[in-house]
Amino acid sequence: MQLRKGQEAVAMIGAHASIRSQNVLWFLGSSGLIATLLVLPASSATASRETSAPGSIVASSASGIAKVDYGKLPLSFEVNSGQANRRVKFLARGSGYNLFLAPTEATLTFRRSSKNALTPTTRLRIQHVGANAEPEMSGREKLPGKVSYFIGNDPKQWRTDIPTYARLEYRDVYPGVDLIYHGAQGSLEYDFVVAPGADPSGIALAFHGAEKLEIDSEGNLLLRVAGGSLRQQKPHIYQEVDGVRRKIDGGYVFRSLSQRDSSHGARGIGFHVAAYDTSKPLI
At 8, the pLDDT band (50, 70, 90 cuts) reads very low
Between 57 and 193, where is the model more confident?
Answer: 193
Taking the C-alpha atoms of residue 88 and residue 94, their distance in angstroms, rounded to an integer, is: 17
Q: Which of 100-114, 135-149, 213-227, 254-268 is predicted least confidently?
A: 254-268
Taking the C-alpha atoms of residue 143 and residue 128, their distance in angstroms, rounded to an integer, is: 27
Taking the C-alpha atoms of residue 137 and residue 168, their distance in angstroms, rounded to an integer, is: 7
Taking the C-alpha atoms of residue 89 and residue 95, their distance in angstroms, rounded to an integer, is: 21
* pLDDT reported for residue 194: 80
Evaluate if pTM is beyond 0.75. no
* pLDDT reported for residue 170: 95
* pLDDT reported for residue 73: 40
DSSP string, 152-191: SS-GGG-EEEEEEEEEEEEEEEETTEEEEEEEETTEEEEE
Q: Where are the beta strands (DSSP E) in 70-184?
A: 77-79, 90-94, 97-102, 105-111, 121-128, 136-150, 159-174, 177-184
CA 193 to centroid of chain Cα atoms: 14
* pLDDT reported for residue 45: 42
8 A C-beta contact, residue 43 and residue 93: yes
Indicate left, alpha or beta for 68 from its phi (over 0: left) and psi (-120 to 50: alpha).
beta
* pLDDT reported for residue 165: 92
* pLDDT reported for residue 138: 93
* pLDDT reported for residue 172: 94
pLDDT at 249 over 80: yes
CA 38 to centroid of chain Cα atoms: 21
Q: What pLDDT digit, counting tens, does each position of 9-21 carry? A: 222 222 222 222 2
Q: Which of 21-30, 124-133, 264-273 is predicted least confidently?
A: 21-30
CA 261 to centroid of chain Cα atoms: 20
Q: What pLDDT digit, counting tens, does each position of 114-170 carry? A: 555 545 678 889 999 999 999 999 999 998 888 888 878 888 888 888 898 989 999
DSSP string, 25-70: EEEE-----EEEE----S-SSEEEESS----EEEE--TT--EEEEG
Between 51 and 104, where is the model more confident?
Answer: 104
Between 105 and 25, where is the model more confident?
Answer: 105
Percent of all residues in the chain with a pLDDT value above 90, rounded to a whole number: 21
Taking the C-alpha atoms of residue 127 and residue 262, their distance in angstroms, rounded to an integer, is: 12
Most distant CA pair in the chain, distance: 61
* pLDDT reported for residue 46: 44
Taking the C-alpha atoms of residue 87 and residue 109, their distance in angstroms, rounded to an integer, is: 16
pLDDT at 48 over 50: no
* pLDDT reported for residue 277: 66
Q: What pLDDT digit, counting tens, does each position of 196-209 carry? A: 778 888 899 999 98
The mean predicted confidence, pLDDT, of the chain is 70
Between 45 and 214, where is the model more confident?
Answer: 214
